[in-house]
A and B are shown apart, each in its own frame.
Chain A
Amino acid sequence: AQKVTQAQTEISVVEKEDVTLDCVYETRDTTYYLFWYKQPPSGELVFLIRRNSFDEQNEISGRYSWNFQKSTSSFNFTITASQVVDSAVYFCALSDLVTPGGYQKVTFGTGTKLQVIP
């Protein structure tokens, strides 16, 4: 069975601080995808990143960076120099490989609510 744990329910940081959102997953699949999404107060989900289990390279996109460690089944997300606009709920998700026409297991974490205080 799949499981995604985002142990941090809520985090508050002061603007310009760095913050790391943790994501730990469980799966029996050897090939899978990991995702991060952002949901600001407006409610509209924003896709941030998709990572294939084959690729353990860390990724940086502006102030965002992701640390994928297969050995610890973690896919953590760091925001550097946080800004008020980063305030949102962040979801980590795990998906097995797409099987055309079949069932797909997609599991979302419960989300981490980040509040950036000016």
Chain B
Amino acid sequence: KAGVTQTPRYLIKTRGQQVTLSCSPISGHRSVSWYQQTPGQGLQFLFEYFSETQRNKGNFPGRFSGRQFSNSRSEMNVSTLELGDSALYLCASSLGYRGDTDTQYFGPGTRLTVL
């Protein structure tokens, strides 16, 4: 069974640009969660999508948005990039939403560098 895939793995953008990251969950999984990891702020929860609906979100500005498609693939978008958005973005998939006892499976992450 294929694991969680994230594309691209590495990305370099400049301030002010926007970026879209993609996450394909394990087949059959309906929940995708996104996390940001930076040296300064550590790990932070961005949002979770379940069955195409944003189920909940962390404390991030509106520049961070996402969506989930009918095949459960999810995209995360960051508009008007700032230097502080440079981070490793991780996604995780699970059968049910995180509020249940489902195990989360993480992808390898997308490393975004904003210059």
Instruction: List residues of chain A with CB under 8 Å of any chain B CB.
Output: 33, 42-47, 50, 91, 93, 95, 97-106, 108-111
Looking at chain B's contact residues, is the secondary structure mostly helix, strand, loop, or mixed? strand
Q: Are A106 and B101 in contact (CB under 8 A)?
A: no
Question: CA–CA, A3 to B104, complex, Å?
Answer: 22
Q: Are B92 and A98 in contact (CB under 8 A)?
A: no
* B70 interface residue (CB < 8 Å to A): no
Question: CA–CA, A91 to B48, complex, Å?
Answer: 19
* B105 interface residue (CB < 8 Å to A): yes
Q: Are A99 and B106 in contact (CB under 8 A)?
A: no
Query: CB within 8 Å of A: which of B69-92?
Result: 88, 90, 92
Chain A residue, CB-CB nearest to B101: A50
* B61 interface residue (CB < 8 Å to A): no
